[in-house]
Structure 1
Amino acid sequence: MSHDALRIRLAQADDACAIGVLSRRVVRRWVLPEQSPKIGRELLLRLSAGSLRQKIIEGQRFHLAYLGEVLVGVAAMRDDSHLLHLYVGTRYQGRGIARRLWQRTLNDAVRRAGTRRFTLNATRCAVPVYVRLGFHAEGPERPSPSGVITTPMSLRLTTRRNKQA
């Protein structure tokens, strides 16, 4: 993939439907098989267009990755420190899109808030991805506050890494 082909921008409220379609598709394929049916239904509801639109309106920052006109990835951060979503469409995985989305999201949080430590709750299938991005497990797999089975992870920026960001 040519890096010039990937375009990343901040989401607006009217992007909520497209974000929801991509996010729910990825979650159904990769996350729901590890969750109870009840937790899975609740997770999909939180990824509805209405719910996502409200989060954007309230100021949650979503970064969107496009190849041409196709939305291929989404990253969302809460409080400039907790990564809530990092989804890349299944057919676009393995092309460095998640790394580029994360780097943009990280840079945005460092610029806006001076963030030095980032956290997330990784589903089982995503743990290896986050390890490759520099995150470390903070404890064993457990239910997150929303009930989704996850591994709490964190990343602390070093001075050297911050200069690269």
Structure 2
Amino acid sequence: MFVPGKALRIRLGQPGDASAIGVLSRRVVRRWVLPDQSRKIGRELLLRLAARALRQKIIDGQRFHLAYLGDKLVGVAAMRDDSHLLHFYVSTRYQGRGIARRLWQRVVRDAVRRAGTCRFTLNATRCAVPVYVRLGFRTEGAERPSPNGVLTTPMSLRLPLRRSKQA
């Protein structure tokens, strides 16, 4: 369901990717997230998506997974502590093509492999709640300001327990 002739490729982000991550993230946030936020909170959110801030997050150990079609960055997912999804953006032009699901599956595999994670959390903006529900998340409360002031809904997903082969 992607672009004909181009395979989706996902790789880990490096500090040098911060500028491209910021461009994609700010575009998606301006289109989908800012309409539900105050002007002040919107400005602060965009500052947190600047290349310098993102580069530091990568250096500090947050794992950014980047989805490419050809050489075009079309999706970003960032995880903290192998359990909390911080950023999850797919370029507006490429939404509805299964990229978010493939990117999420890669993030989950990585967290399970690295840390044995079985429960994931996130704070979803209003427009993203339906996307996360389709990925299996459940709401954990009402919409409220996050610590940084962005209006979000807390959500979580618990992976099914795997049965051991000896059972």
- Compute the TM-score of the two structures, normalised by the length of structure 2: 0.94
Where does the alignment leave 5 or more consecutive residues of structure 2 unmatched? none
State the shift of 1:2 in Å.
4.8
What is the aligned-residue identity percentage? 83
Partner of 1:145, secondary structure, is: coil
Q: Which amino acid aligns with 1:136?
A: R
CA distance in 1, matches of 2:57, 2:32: 23
Task: String of CA shifts for 1:58-82, please: whole Å, max 9, x gaps.
Answer: 1110000000000000000000000
Match of 2:121 in 1: 119
Match of 1:104 in 2: 106
Larger Rg: 2
Is the aligned partner of 1:80 residue 2:88? no
Where does the alignment leave 5 or more consecutive residues of structure 1 unmatched? none
The match for 2:48 among 46, 49, 61 is: 46
CA distance in 1, matches of 2:13, 2:99: 17
- Cα distance 1:2–1:40, how it changes in 2: closer, same or farther (>3 A)? closer
The match for 1:66 among 68, 80, 84 is: 68
CA distance in 1, matches of 2:77, 2:121: 13
RMSD of the TM alignment (CA)? Answer: 1.4
Match of 1:6 in 2: 8
Is the aligned partner of 1:20 residue 2:22? yes
Q: Which amino acid aligns with 1:34?
A: D
Match of 1:55 in 2: 57
Match of 1:151 in 2: 153
